[in-house]
Structure 1
Amino acid sequence: MSYQAYLNTIKQKTGKGPADFRTMAEDKGFTKNGELVVKAGDVTNWLKADFGLGHGHAMAIYALLKGIKNEDSE
């Protein structure tokens, strides 16, 4: 599955896109000035609990928040 396919599936399931997750992570204190300040487990646990995402999809959002991937990544 491509990274874009992960983002598309997440958007279909949650109604949220990358910008939404960045905003929510900042609001939760997971990021400061766009930099991730928590561990991957904190992010994945949040996404699994609040949005019902599986581990792979939660890690896709983690990669987005960490700056490893972005909306244009394949």
Structure 2
Amino acid sequence: MSFQAYLDAAEVKTGRTPQEIVDLAHAEGFGADTKTGPILEWLKTELDLGRGHGMALVHVIKNGAGISDKHVGTTGTHRDESAVLRLDGIASRDTPT
């Protein structure tokens, strides 16, 4: 599953866009210097998210929307369309620009 697919699935499960989850995490004091474990625990406790969804969110909480381009444009199951993740929600992609 790609980073974006994990973020989209977390949005479907929680009803919150990835950006809303990132904003909540930052309001809790989580950021670039926070260890992964406490963020995963918080995501599980507050949003009932497991490790897979949690690790994708940990990345954006700590590092922002940019990801390595090593899977961009490949044909594997972890392929992402872009090296920049969409945090604005699934509905935003369905809205004409």
TM-score (norm 2): 0.62
Q: 1:1-74 alignment to 2 at 5 Å?
A: 1-31=1-31, 36-67=32-63, 69=67, 70-72=84-86
CA–CA separation in structure 1 for the residues paired with 2:19 and 2:27: 12
Cα deviation for residue 18 of structure 1 reads 2.0
Matched position secondary structure for 2:5: helix
Normalised TM-score (structure 1): 0.79
Task: Give the alignment's Cα RMSD to 1 decimal.
Answer: 1.5
Give the letter aligned to residue 38 of structure 1. Answer: T
C-alpha separation between the residues in 1 aligned to 2:23 and 2:61?
10
Is residue 40–residue 58 contact of structure 2 (8 Å, CA) maintained in 1? yes
Question: Aligned partners of 1:26, 1:8: CA distance in 2, in Å?
Answer: 20
Using the TM superposition, give the Cα deviation of residue 30 of structure 1 relative to its aligned residue in structure 2, in angstroms. Answer: 1.1
* Bigger strand fraction: 1
- Percentage of matched positions with identical amino acids: 37
Larger CA Rg, structure 1 vs 2: 2
Gaps of 5+ in 2: 68-83, 87-97
**1:27-51 CA deviation, whole Å, 9 max, x = no partner?**
10113xxxx2311001000001111
Displacement, 1:60?
0.6
Q: Any idea what SS the aligned residue of 1:37 has?
A: coil
Which structure has greater helix proportion?
Answer: 1
Moved over 4 A (4+): none
Residue 50 of structure 2 aligns to which amino acid in structure 1? G
